[in-house]
Each structure stands twice: as C-alpha cells, then as structure tokens.
Amino acid sequence: MIRLACSMLAGLARLLRPEAKVLRMSESKDENQSPRAVPKGRAKPRSGGRNSVYPIPVDRLISELNRLPGIGRRSAERLAFHLLKSPKDDALALAAAITDLKQAVRHCAICFNLTDTEACAICDDGRRERNKVLVIEQPKDLLAIEQTGMYRGLYHVLMGRLSPLDGVEPVDLTIASLLGRIGDPSKNAGGEAVTEIILGLNPTLEGDGTAMYLHDLLSEKTDADGRLRVSRLARGLPSGGSLEFANKAVLADAIAGRQRM
Ligand code: ZN
C-alpha cells in the first residue's frame, strides 16, 4: 500500500515537471521579447529605459506643459515644437517671465492680492476709499470687479473658501488677517479704520457657507462697537436680460433680494 502510494506520487511528479518546464520557458520568452510592452509600429525603449523618440529636453518640456490645466499631451507636443521653431530670444523671454513670476510675485501684506511690492497697487492707492473692504475668494475675482470700474474701496482675498469636506477650515484662509485689519486700523491700508465689509464670495454652496460664517463672526464685532456695516453683493436678474431666459437660481435670488421702489 505504501509502495503504491509512493509510485503514484512519483508518477504525479513526473507529470507535473514537464508542465513546469514549459511554463518557465514561456515566462522567459515574455521577458526577452515583451510583446505587450512594445506594440508594433511604436518606438522601442531607448537604452536608458525611456519609451520615447524625443531627446530628453524635449520630453521634459512636453511633460511639464502637459501638467498645466487644459493642456493635453497633443497640445503639449504642439507647444513644445512651436518653442523649438521660434527664435531663441522669444523662447528665453517666456522662460524669464516664468522665473520672474515665481521669484518676484507674492501676496500683498494687507489684502493678499498679488503684488511684486510689499503692499499691492490697490492698497497703495491713496485715492481709494480705504474704509470699505470687499471680501473675495481669489485674486482673479478682484480683477473681475476692477474691470467693472464700479468699486473704489479696498479688498481682502481669503485665498479660498470654507470646505469642510475637503478639509479647508477657517485657519486655512486669511480670516485672522481680516479680523486684524478690522480690529486695528494700523493694519489696514493708510491706517484707516474699516467701517464697511462687503461679502463678495461666489454664489455656491461653499461660498454661501463661508459668507454666513463671516457674517456671524463680523456681527459680533458690530455689536461690540456698533460701527461696522456688513453687506453682501446683490444677486438677481442681469440688466438687459429677460425673465423667460433666467434660470431658477437667478430668479430665486432676484425674488429674495427684491428692493423697495
Ligand atoms: Zn493689497
């Protein structure tokens, strides 16, 4: 019985061995030829292991451009080849502009707008109404409001909005600096006291939440000395628009924010 079992085991081992050998052979074949790694018609990897036909500097530029928002691989290649063809001075001027941007541009010490000096051009402008501060999310919002030419006060850029789901809390925004400006006139541009805060956050769920948070925070200050006025930008129907084409949210805001005539 024991002898029979031993011979069965030996037979099984003989049966398995050739299969194992075939498997090892096929694996080594895959390793040498890698039929899936390099499909027909595509460039073979270089000796350095890169799967590209371009020189390393071209590849590097393409992958850097590809990381920019809205720039896909094809667009990145097109831009890289455009730069290769353009005069050397033009390409170097672009490189110098990027270097200057990262070395010279920073946030204004008072309002967090972009600047290349200590205080931005708006905070520095003595003709502006320095008692008014319009609170916005990003420096690009400031640009949009400036283009209307309707506002002559100062700004405060929050550098984002509260978003508990993404882990953005009050300490991640410039709220403490805003409160500092309100509480201490020497921290505001021109040393002038802030008497009006206008909340200009985006009309989104998170923007509204941030505006509510700031409103509650600032209301406490209003109660304490009674001099701070807090308002928010009006919403509703745009001039020249018509009711039938306005979306539901715009109409709802227009009704909620109706004005006495
Ligand atoms: Zn500023």
One digit per residue, pLDDT tens: the chain, 261 residues? 445 444 544 444 444 444 444 444 443 434 344 434 434 444 434 444 567 788 999 999 999 999 999 999 999 999 999 999 999 999 999 999 999 989 999 999 999 999 999 899 999 999 999 999 999 999 999 988 998 888 999 999 999 999 999 999 999 999 999 999 999 999 999 999 999 999 999 988 999 999 999 999 988 776 555 678 898 888 887 777 777 887 888 888 778 777 777
pLDDT of residue 4: 46
Domain ranges of the chain: 54-104, 122-235+242-256
CA 95–ligand 1 middle distance (angstroms): 27
pLDDT of residue 236: 80
CA 127–ligand 1 middle distance (angstroms): 14
CA 230–ligand 1 middle distance (angstroms): 20
CA 202–ligand 1 middle distance (angstroms): 20
pLDDT of residue 34: 41
- Neighbouring residues of the ion ligand 1, judged by CB less than 5 Å: 108, 110-111, 113, 120, 123
CA 110–ligand 1 middle distance (angstroms): 5
- The set of residues, in sequence order, having a beta carbon less than 8 Å from that of 87 and lying 6+ positions away, is none
pLDDT of residue 253: 79
Helix (H), strand (E), coil (C) string for the chain: CHHHHHHHHHHHHHHHHHHHHHHHHHHHHHHHHCCCCCCCCCCCCCCCCCCCCCCHHHHHHHHHHHCCCCCCHHHHHHHHHHHHHCCHHHHHHHHHHHHHHHHHCEECCCCCCEECCCCCHHHHCCCCEEEEEEEECCHHHHHHHHHHCCCCEEEEECCCCCEHHHCECHHHCCHHHHHHHHHCHHHCHHHCCCCEEEECCCCCHHHHHHHHHHHHHHHHHHHHHCCCEEEECCCCCCCCCCHHHCCHHHHHHHHHCCCCC
Which structure tokens are listed for 62? 């393409």
CA 56–ligand 1 middle distance (angstroms): 42
CA 194–ligand 1 middle distance (angstroms): 14
CA 211–ligand 1 middle distance (angstroms): 21
Q: Please name every residue paired with 229 in a beta bridge, in sequence order, or none if there are none.
A: 196
pTM for the model stands at 0.68
Buried b (16+ CB within 10 A) or exposed e, 220-238: ebeeeeeebebebbeebbe
Could you confirm whether domain 54-104 is CATH 3.90.226.10? no
CA 228–ligand 1 middle distance (angstroms): 20
pLDDT of residue 224: 54
CATH class for domain 122-235+242-256?
Answer: alpha beta
